[in-house]
Amino acid sequence: MFSGNKPPSGQAQQKTVRLPKQMAIPSYGDVQFLMQEAQKMSGRIVELPFSSTDKKTDFVLAVRYETRDIDPEQSMDPEWSLTEYKGGPPKILWRHPCRDISLICNFILQAGGGDQLQDIMQSSSALYGSSSEQAGSTGAYNPVATTSGLSPTRMVTPGAPPAQDPANIIFEPPRLGAKATLEGDLNKLQVPNLLQSINLAKMTGRLDIKTKVDSCQVFFQEGIPLHCNVKENNGDSALTELITWTAGEFRFWPDEKTQDRTVNKRLDAILMEGVTLLDQWKYLETAGLKQESCLVRKNAMMSEQELSARLEKGAPLPLEHQIEFYDMIDNRNTLSDLLRKRPMQKNQWVPLLFNLVSCGLVQITDQAPAQNRLARLKSIGVDENQFQSVIKTLTRTETGILNYYAFIYFLEQEYLRYEYFNLPFSLIVFSLGIRKGGDDSPVVEALQMIAIRRAMQRIGLVKRQIDALGHYETFDYAILLPNTNAAAAAALANRISDVLREAPLSSDMDSRALALAFGVATVPEDCVDLDKLIVAAKKARDEAKTGKRRVVLARDILMQSKD
């Protein structure tokens, strides 16, 4: 309803930048963010549309800030105005040159039907610090008492495509009626600053941080972190890994407590480790690192003495760990493959790989060196058409993966390898579905065939070529992992879960409503009989369907039954 309205008189010739409309009265952080954007675009008008408390009136808050080139410190006060839209012609309620953001907030609240900001500013000042400390950070930090639960606004320019809706991430309150006292976006406020703010304010409660595929919980007591959980990781290492997150949204729920005590280090020590890890992670990302990246040695003939001399120039790490990781790199396996062979937490493998890459020992590539195996078979007289016809008899055309009985055949063959050569292997049985009625609905329906095929294609990108992916019974699926233990199989299952949730599998599907349940069983860790292996994997899958974990190990079921 605002697009046809002209700016206030005297501003017609000014270029205007309009932020997305928000359905609540702007908070202190919103107003400060607006002024910061005006400072960046000296001489231009920046507008923020919003609605009144009763949703019956719309407003546009506008600010213009002009910086003097000779002496920026002597620049004029920013010029603020508030325009009301209530059915008739637009009405300018006030214009005011002012640097006092709290005063502008009170003017806005009075016009929009909200309470004045005086009491709120006292409680939030401990988090924001002085006005000089606030610059560049508080635009992402919204006290919910003044924002009614809205995330911070995101700036757009006229004619630009609309930004992604941040509402894709949904937070569940820890209890009925609970309200978050802090919320924001990690794009605007980084994790180290967020943790320090909670610590300085001596807050007690639970911090939830979510991305589209990951989630984390940190419990605080008087600002001291007590327990942190990221996927299968807990404690100090989980909190260190959290610091490497650069995207996502957060909520802080006050007065939430836990009996778990997994964080043992001081927060300042963890922050130092985490910031170092973050710098190393950004370096690897800049080098093109992804889970599917192939790691290649730059010099295959390097001696151990030369290798040690090179590594001395890197970050201080145990030499034996670096050499062990270097020896795993075979120019064929991806990073995901290596972490399946030797599962490690992010704060363990990132420094190792950082040293190898920064010291010029390892190169990150998009794919392994091409090896056309079929071309080699053709060179010895193998008929390609006959070869492909055999594959077609083993797979289902609509999904492109092994049919049920072909999968059982390969499973039996792998079991025979275990009996003859004592080679371990793992079996993952998993279910895919869509929750009818949303991501909290207990009713799960089967996916459409196009979504199933795309899901299998994504799984094919993260599994090894020697892993067998197929149908299991009528509606489920399974993966056979030769020479793989339970921890590595669970890591793959979690990776598959992330890949399937990264983007919708079809245009009419919400990836948040995707229902996933993985059951993992291993020979000989869990059992030594093929029939017991299958039963154990199915029981673990059923447990994942009813519980909160998407990946359940058969060993966990066995331990529960013993207890």
Q: Are residues 394 and 543 in the same domain?
A: yes
Which residues on adjacent β-strands are paired with residue 429?
A: 478, 519
Q: How big is the chain, counted in residues? A: 563
Cβ neighbours, 10 Å, residue 50: 21
Residue 173 lies in a domain: no
**What gap in Å lies between CA 421 and CA 405, rounded to an integer?**
24
Q: Are residues 429 and 525 in the same domain?
A: yes
**What gap in Å lies between CA 409 and CA 349, rounded to an integer?**
37
Cα Rg, the chain, nearest whole Å: 28
- Give the per-residue pLDDT at 239: 94
**What gap in Å lies between CA 454 and CA 444, rounded to an integer?**
19
Residue 285 lies in a domain: no
Mean pLDDT of the 403-429 span = 96
Residue 153 lies in a domain: no
Look at residue 470 and give its three-state secondary structure.
Answer: strand
Report how many domains make up the chain: 4
List pLDDT tens digits, range 547-560: 778 999 999 887 77
Q: Are residues 428 and 476 in the same domain?
A: yes
List pLDDT tens digits, range 57-72: 889 999 988 765 544 4
List pLDDT tens digits, range 389-408: 998 999 998 999 999 999 99
Which residues on adjacent β-strands are paired with residue 17?
A: 46
Q: Are residues 513 and 450 in the same domain?
A: yes
Domain CATH code at residue 475: 3.30.70.270
Does residue 165 or residue 530 have the better pLDDT? Answer: 530
**What gap in Å lies between CA 335 and CA 295, rounded to an integer?**
7
Which range of 83-87, 179-183, 491-495 scores highest in mean pLDDT? It is 491-495
Residue 198 lies in a domain: yes
The two structure tokens encoding residue 519: 């059951």
Enter the DSSP assignment of 528.
S
Q: Are residues 436 and 505 in the same domain?
A: yes
The yes-or-no verdict on residue 164 having pLDDT over 60 is no
Q: Are residues 272 and 295 in the same domain?
A: no
Residue 481 lies in a domain: yes
Does residue 159 or residue 515 have the better pLDDT? Answer: 515
The yes-or-no verdict on residue 452 having pLDDT over 80 is yes
Q: How far is CA 19 from CA 22, 160, 164, in A?
A: 9, 12, 14
Q: Are residues 265 and 303 in the same domain?
A: no
Q: Are residues 294 and 274 in the same domain?
A: no
- Give the per-residue pLDDT at 235: 93
Pick from 305, 330, 365: which residue ends a domain? Answer: 365
Q: Are residues 307 and 409 in the same domain?
A: no
Q: Are residues 335 and 405 in the same domain?
A: no
pLDDT band at 563 (very low <50, low <70, confident <90, very high): low
Mean pLDDT of the 314-325 span = 89
Angle (nearest 5°) at CA 423 between 419 and 427:
95
What is the residue range of 326's domain? 290-365
- Give the per-residue pLDDT at 441: 66
The yes-or-no verdict on residue 100 having pLDDT over 80 is no
List pLDDT tens digits, range 280-300: 999 998 888 988 888 888 876
Pairing verdict, β 45-51 and 16-18: parallel
pLDDT band at 483 (very low <50, low <70, confident <90, very high): very high
Does residue 432 or residue 313 have the better pLDDT? Answer: 432
Mean pLDDT of the 178-195 span = 88
Q: Are residues 554 and 415 in the same domain?
A: yes
Residue 371 lies in a domain: no
Pick from 231, 255, 278: which residue ends a domain? Answer: 278
The yes-or-no verdict on residue 119 having pLDDT over 90 is no
